Amino acid sequence: MLCRRLLFWILLRCADCFSVTVPSSPVLGVRRATAHLPCAFEPVSDLSDLVITWQREEDLQVVHSFYYGTDQLERQGRDYINRTKLNHKEIPKGNASLSIAKFGLKDAGKYVCVVSNSKGTDRGVVHLVYAAFYSEPKLSILLNSTDVTVQYEMEAYPRPEVMWQGSGGQNLTGQVEVSSESDGGVFYLKSSYMTQSPVFNVTFTLKNPAVHQKLQRHVKVYISDGKHFSLG
């Protein structure tokens, strides 16, 4: 009975001997860039029995595998062929972080990092989220007999924060139209401001908090005879 208790105590202690460390907060991946999924473990001097496996959590699809001292990609999911990479120089230091090139919307999700060595086995889950830098806004001026509409068009993801302001900084009412998500992982967005004034000065601001991007454009319009206008 005493031996059983001792064995249970040893196994319980050993369960705490090895652990994998991953970020507790979501990790951002940017469209068409290389995404980095951090994963760290307690290293050992002998790497002969080290096994690193990255998988998608929802379907356990193999994203990248490493054992016998080299990458083992025979069972790698087709979506990740020639796109994933471990830093082999950092592995002996306990770094099992994975890089995914040409990151896209379909790559967003939860990834499981499983590491095994002579000290034990542990796993961690990395939540990878997607964002895209906004494209340069395209300006259009729509003029008719009663009013003028200033409109910007752009690609964006996620849906941006949009603001129109007057020359005194006052908040103006704008209209925002967002199309459905495209295959490229972006929204096509139109935002406009309409006025009946022949002379006006407005500022258009677009914010992408996910990647800390801010675009601001100033427009001055002078309508001379109801048919012609100039931009300041």
Q: Let me know if 30 is exposed, middle or buried by CB neighbors in 10 A (0-12, 13-18, 19+).
A: middle
Domains of the chain: 19-131 (2.60.40.10), 138-231 (2.60.40.10)
List C-alpha distances in Å: 19 to 14, 145, 165, 192. 10, 70, 52, 53
**pLDDT per position in the chain (232 positions), as tens?**
444 443 333 344 444 568 999 999 999 999 999 999 999 998 888 888 999 999 999 999 999 999 999 999 999 999 999 999 999 999 999 999 999 999 999 999 999 999 999 889 999 999 999 999 888 999 998 887 788 889 999 988 888 888 999 988 888 877 777 776 666 788 888 899 888 887 888 999 988 888 889 999 998 887 766 555 555 4
Handedness of CA 66, 71, 74, 79 (dihedral sign): positive
Q: The pTM is what?
A: 0.77
Distance in angstroms (rounded) separating the CA atoms of residues 45 and 29: 33
The whole-number pLDDT of residue 172 equals 86
Q: In sequence order, what DSSP letters do the residues of 51-88 get, joined into one string?
A: EEEEEETTT--EEEEEETTEE--TT--GGGTTTEEE-T
Beta bridge partners of 138: 153
Amino acid occupying residue 62: V
Q: What pLDDT score was predicted for residue 16?
A: 54
- The pLDDT, as a whole number, for residue 87 is 96
* Residue 226 confidence (pLDDT): 54
